[in-house]
Amino acid sequence: MTTRGPFPWRLFAGAAVICGLAGLLSGTACGCQPAQSPQANARTIARDSVDGFEAVWKLAHDTCESVATVDASHPNQVLWAKCSKVLLPARNGMLAAAAAVDAWTDADQQNIGCLVGDLIVSFTSVEELFVELGVVVPSQFGQAVSLAASLAPMCVRLDAGSGDADADADGEGG
């Protein structure tokens, strides 16, 4: 009787063969998935980030609504105004980022870092609103910020100017 190697090696080799055959039959490898392109990965991260910010926004809106209307006959207009001042820009930024992720054109891919970076800034006010209302900041906030922060370095502001303003500030520009 010939052996092909120690006993554990035969088990490992057999499992690898079975896994490989199963992968060929099913179109996938055991425990592996096809690698995503950097663009597809960025889109997934951007979508997850926007979805997280959306969940936080909805919770902030619902919290404002319930706190401001504790007394239904006399809603707290000052609180409503404060909530609107914070939530409207956050919502607009969220919608712009969501539209860019949905369209995902070349321009959107270049701009997504800026859009999610802006979301971090606008949602900082939402976080402060939670604290002011005495509500625990939801965990989705930290997760959304973390995802968005991973894309923010991709931001290249197209409206940053050509650098002539620096020369003018030094008195050297024309």
Burial class (CB in 10 A: 0-12, 13-18, 19+), 126: buried
pLDDT of 4: 52
Q: Which of 158, 89, 81 is nearest to 120 (CA)?
A: 89
User: Which amino acid appears at position 164 of this protein?
Assistant: D
Token duo for residue 58: 């909805």
pLDDT for res 39: 63
Structure token digits, residue 47: 């979508």
pLDDT recorded at residue 73? 84
Question: Cβ distance 46 to 40 under 8 Å?
Answer: no
Integer Cα distance of 143 and 94 in angstroms? 15
- Do the Cβ atoms of 148 and 116 come closer than 8 Å? yes
Summarize the chain as % helix, strand, coil (round to 5): 75, 0, 25
Integer angstrom CA distances of residue 143 from 46, 78, 148, 152: 12, 30, 9, 14
Question: Could you read off the pLDDT tens digit of each residue along the chain, which spans 174 residues?
Answer: 555 544 443 433 443 434 443 443 444 444 444 445 556 788 999 999 999 999 999 999 999 999 888 887 888 999 999 999 999 999 999 999 999 999 998 888 888 999 999 999 999 999 999 999 888 999 999 999 999 999 988 888 766 554 444 444 444 444
